[in-house]
Amino acid sequence: MKSSDIIIRETKQNDFDDIMTVERRAFGSEDEAELTKNLMADSTSKPILSLLAFDKHKAIGHILFTVATFKDQKGSPPFYILAPLAVIPEYQRMGIGGMLIKEGLRILKKNKAELVFVLGHITYYPKYGFIGNAAKFNLPAPYLIPDKVADAWMVQELVPGSIQKYNGQIACCKAMEKEEYWRE
C-alpha cells in the first residue's frame, strides 16, 4: 500500500454497507457497527462528520464525529466527540487511523468547530493533538470517568484558547447516552 493510493472522503447514503463492514472487521464484533448505525440515525448527533478511507476501491477505515453540547445549557458552542475510529486489521498500524483523524480535524476546523473530545487510548490520541484528562480543564465527560483512567477522556482545541474559554459538563447525543459506552 502506498499512502498516495489512500483516498479519504465524506460518506454518502450508499456507503452504509462499507461502513458496517469496516466497523465489524476492525472491532471483531457487532457492537461498534450497531453503535455507528445508531449514531448516524440519531437526530441529536447532527451535524455529523463521517469519513471513509479507501485503498483504491476497498473501504479500509472509518471515523465518525458527532455533535456534543454542554449539559443543561442551551445554545451550545460547536463541539464534537470522535467515536468510533476503525481500521480493518490488515491495514492497522500503517497510519490510516492518523490520516482519518487529521482529515476529520481539518474539516471540523474549517466548519468552525472549537473543541473535539475523545474517550480512548492514552498512548494513541495524544499523537494527534489530544490532551488527556479534559475534566481537569473543567470539561468533564457525560458520565463519570474513574480517576485511574481519567486521562482517557481527552480534548483538543481547534481554536486557540477554547479550552480555557469553556467550562461545563459535556453532553453527548442520545445514541451515546449509555453508561456502558463510557467505561474505558
Ligand X SMILES: CC(C)(COP(=O)(O)OP(=O)(O)OC[C@H]1O[C@@H](n2cnc3c(N)ncnc32)[C@H](O)[C@@H]1OP(=O)(O)O)[C@@H](O)C(=O)NCCC(=O)NCCS
Residue in 44, 116, 120, 42 with CA at minimum distance from that of residue 86: 120
Can residue 124 be called a binding residue for ligand X (CB under 6 A)?
Answer: yes
Which position among 13, 74, 123, 160 is part of the footprint of ligand X (CB under 6 A)? 123
CA–CA separation, 81 vs 108, rounded Å?
A: 11
Write down the least CB distance from residue 45 to ligand X, Å. 16
CA–CA separation, 39 vs 153, rounded Å?
A: 19
Which position among 38, 44, 76, 92 is part of the footprint of ligand X (CB under 6 A)? 92
Number of residues that bind ligand X (CB under 6 A): 18
Can residue 27 be called a binding residue for ligand X (CB under 6 A)?
Answer: yes
Which position among 78, 84, 140, 142 is part of the footprint of ligand X (CB under 6 A)? 84
Query: Considering beta carbons, is residue 65 or 166 the nearer one to ligand X?
Result: 65
Can residue 181 be called a binding residue for ligand X (CB under 6 A)?
Answer: no
CA–CA separation, 45 vs 51, rounded Å?
A: 15
**What are the backbone angles phi and psi of residue 11, rounded to the nearest 5°?**
-80, 155
φ/ψ bin of 145: left (φ > 0), alpha (ψ from -120 to 50), beta (otherwise): beta
Which chain residues interact with ligand X by CB under 6 A? 26-27, 83-87, 92-98, 120-121, 123-124
